[in-house]
Amino acid sequence: MTAMLLVGVIGYSPAQQADLPKAPVKAHPARPPVKIEQPFMVKTVSLHHLTSMEAVKLLTPYVQTPGGGVYEVSPNIRAVTVREIQAVFNEMQTVLERYDRDPATIVLNFQLIAAENTNTRDPAVASLDTLLRSVLKFTGYRLLTTSVAAATEGQGVTQTLSADGDPLTLTVIVRELRTEGSDASVQLIVQLNRQGIPASAQNNGVGRPMSELFSTGVRVPIGQTVVLGTSAVEGGQRAMILTVRPQLSKK
């Protein structure tokens, strides 16, 4: 009897046990992933064309791991010692394969073209005639001379051209050469000067100083022809146009 009174007072019965709120289950904090230290590898890499100091300067920016590095073996030995993890070392190897090689040679094909008001259509420049007429005011274009120069990255070449007997000096510096992929191109610094002529009996004592026709810097895609510059002469009644088409030299 007492048990039933107690049950009635507190309103409890075994059938209602399932309706009682359950204590929240404490979530265990997630454990951080276990970091596995990648072992360092130390290798001495032979070089074919770069000096050891050049290779150190080239590869040092690729060092990623604390304690890693690229070290010169000796000024007299073409090799560097690399201390890095495998993934970074592989990246450095790829960089060396690109830059530690024979310097590529570029062949530069130049055309010097006269622009005049003569209604001339020279078959030698037929591929450029329409383009030139669309951007310049002259009515005739003819080829004056061609020139071929070969150079490697960092080199400069100088050649003498003739524009209807007028001597010109062409100077070209190859700044940067990219030989692979869709961005294969060459960075050129080009200057074209009219040569000075000293006074002599042949020109009745009337000479002329050297003068610059134009100077420009341009990146040219490999295999494409680009107009480098134009220079008006003879009071604007005539102009000289220089074009270039670079090609990689076949070994």
Same domain, yes or no, for 230 and 110? yes
The residue out of 53, 72, 99 marking a domain boundary is: 99
Pair 43, 12: CB distance under 8 Å: no
Number of folded domains in the chain? 2
Considering the domain boundaries, does residue 6 fall inside one?
Answer: no
Same domain, yes or no, for 228 and 177? yes
pLDDT at 10: 36
Regarding beta strands 226-233 and 185-194, do their DSSP bridges make them parallel or antiparallel, or are they unpaired?
unpaired
pLDDT at 19: 53
Same domain, yes or no, for 161 and 192? yes
Same domain, yes or no, for 227 and 154? yes
Place of tokens 């003879």: 234
Same domain, yes or no, for 122 and 152? yes
Same domain, yes or no, for 133 and 233? yes
pLDDT at 170: 95
Considering the domain boundaries, does residue 174 fall inside one?
Answer: yes
pLDDT at 234: 63
Pair 127, 226: CB distance under 8 Å: no
Considering the domain boundaries, does residue 4 fall inside one?
Answer: no
Domain range for 83: 41-99
Same domain, yes or no, for 163 and 228? yes
Considering the domain boundaries, does residue 63 fall inside one?
Answer: yes
pLDDT at 177: 87
Considering the domain boundaries, does residue 183 fall inside one?
Answer: yes
Same domain, yes or no, for 145 and 230? yes
Considering the domain boundaries, does residue 36 fall inside one?
Answer: no
Considering the domain boundaries, does residue 204 fall inside one?
Answer: no
Domain containing residue 65: CATH number: 3.30.1370.120
Which residues does 153 contact at the CB level (< 8 Å), separation at least 6? 103, 104, 106, 174, 175, 176, 177
Secondary structure E strands in the chain: 41-46, 69-74, 77-84, 105-116, 140-152, 156-163, 166-178, 185-194, 211-221, 226-233, 238-248
Which tokens belong to 15?
A: 């059938």
pLDDT at 83: 95
Same domain, yes or no, for 90 and 132? no
Same domain, yes or no, for 125 and 84? no
Same domain, yes or no, for 164 and 85? no
Mark the ranges of the chain whose per-residue pLDDT is less than 50.
1-18, 34-35
Same domain, yes or no, for 95 and 113? no
Separation of alpha carbons 245 and 251, rounded Å? 19
Q: pLDDT by residue (tens digit) across 147-199?
A: 999 998 888 999 999 988 889 999 999 988 888 778 899 999 999 999 988 88
The residue out of 62, 79, 99 marking a domain boundary is: 99
Which residues does 36 contact at the CB level (< 8 Å), separation at least 6? none
pLDDT at 32: 56
Pair 104, 249: CB distance under 8 Å: yes
